[in-house]
Amino acid sequence: MIRHMDKLLLLSFIPLSVCQVLADDWPQWRGPTRDGVWRETGLVEKFAEEQLPIKWRVKIGAGYSGPTVANGRVYVMDRQTDPEQMERVVCVDAETGVKIWTHEYKCPYVGIGYTAGPRASVTINDGLAYSMGAMGNLFCLDAKMGAVVWSNDLNAEYQIQVRDKDANRMPIWGMACSPLIYNDLVILQIGAKDASVIALDKKTGKEVWRALSDPGQYSSPVLTKQAGKDVLICWTGASIAGLAPQNGEVYWQQEFLPKNMPIGCASPVILKDRLFLTSFYDGSLMLRLLPDQTNVEQVWKIVGASERDTKALHSIISTPLMIGDYVYGVDSYGELRCLNAETGERIWEDLTAVPKARWSTIHFVQNGDQIWMFNERGELIISKLTSQGFQEIGRAKLIEPTTDQLRDRGGVCWSHPAFAMRSVFARNDNELLRADLSSK
């Protein structure tokens, strides 16, 4: 991708790669280009058994943090509670699963719902590992040895959890933004007053800029190109905004106020000039990125009467896909849906990909014309999604649901897996594992 960047920059709208990596790495949230696209070839076309063969397993603690893979190593965060509350960054060998190093620090959870563990994925860039904990503990670690390069207690430094007339600005489920690297900056959504989004020097941790006064929520920012400029797309607890990533200048801001509570977990989804957002209570919003100026216009906004009586798409944990003129995603109770991207009209609904339940989840990864789906029952599905419907090619068990993340329905698997080295890397509340997906 890097070799063709000069050609790609001629296009009006493209997702930007924010980490220079090997093609078979998964070094950050949702992959090399932060868009849920897996570009490896030589993969299995169907599953031979009902259970995927596991290459290795390693015991870890609970957490929502999805694994990342870079330079032959796997990184993940978890939480320990005995004998005291601690968060950890764990690094293991990608070939063997042998633990290489662990960085741990005391971290009592205060005022956080769903206390299973850290939410954000570890970002790997230029030999450094950036981790964000649920209480706002930000670390820059040496990716090989685990030594601390610098650290910031964002909760304390920016008074995120201090109550004032604006009330507690930390989201009730804690800090969830996976760090994003842009040139020499590490960018985060933290929701602090007058510092909803911040950029720090990636080598020192010193603040470079701050922007917006919106309350925070859980979505991680993404980068795109608009009107010849790099644009940082941030979905906060009150709006969706386009910022200049080098200095925090606000190019545009579209109000998207929650009617109940900030609950945007999905990443913003971009395809050409379309920008799509979806929330559990607040339905769907489609914006158009204008081609000749850094601004947007609303195409449509659709919200149902309630979390059960929904229209368009009311997703919570799953980030949808846009393919061509269609949006594919999971509704509030696990309904797999296809929408017309231009109008928001529902084209079809399918109830076979994941059992119906409140917040039922599927993580989507696109590989060529196939969609790899990891559902909350720990199943991996090879599929095709078109306007004609959901076509299941194969399904196999990958990992067991566990109950720290959610005790209902016998537990869930809500952490996004990593796809690298022709394998899938997944975790639950007890273990991290690797399963081979190569065609041999």
| pLDDT, tens only, 19-42 | 444 448 999 999 999 999 999 999
pLDDT score of 164: 53
| Amino acid found at 321 | L
B/e letters for 188-215, b = 16+ CB within 10 Å, e = fewer, are bbbbbeebbbbbbebeebeebbbbbebb
> What is the total count of domains within the chain?
1
Average confidence (pLDDT) over 1-26:
46
pLDDT score of 171: 85
Number of residues that this document lists for the chain: 440
pLDDT score of 166: 52
Q: What is the CATH number of the domain that holds 390?
A: 2.130.10.10
Average confidence (pLDDT) over 112-130:
97
Beta bridge partners of 340: 326
Give the predicted TM-score (pTM) of the model. Answer: 0.94
The residue ranking higher by pLDDT, 353 or 159, is: 353
- Lowest average pLDDT, out of 23-32, 356-365, 428-437, goes to 23-32
Instruction: Name the token pair of 243.
Output: 């910022």
Provide the domain limits for residue 164: 2-436
Q: Residues 6 or more apart from 358 whose CB is under 8 A from it?
A: 307, 332, 333, 408
Share of residues in the chain with pLDDT > 70 (%): 93
Strand 250-255 and strand 269-271: pairing? unpaired
pLDDT score of 161: 81
Q: Is the pLDDT of residue 412 over 60?
A: yes
| pLDDT, tens only, 172-225 | 899 999 999 999 999 999 999 899 999 999 999 999 999 999 999 999 999 999
| pLDDT, tens only, 313-329 | 999 999 999 999 999 99
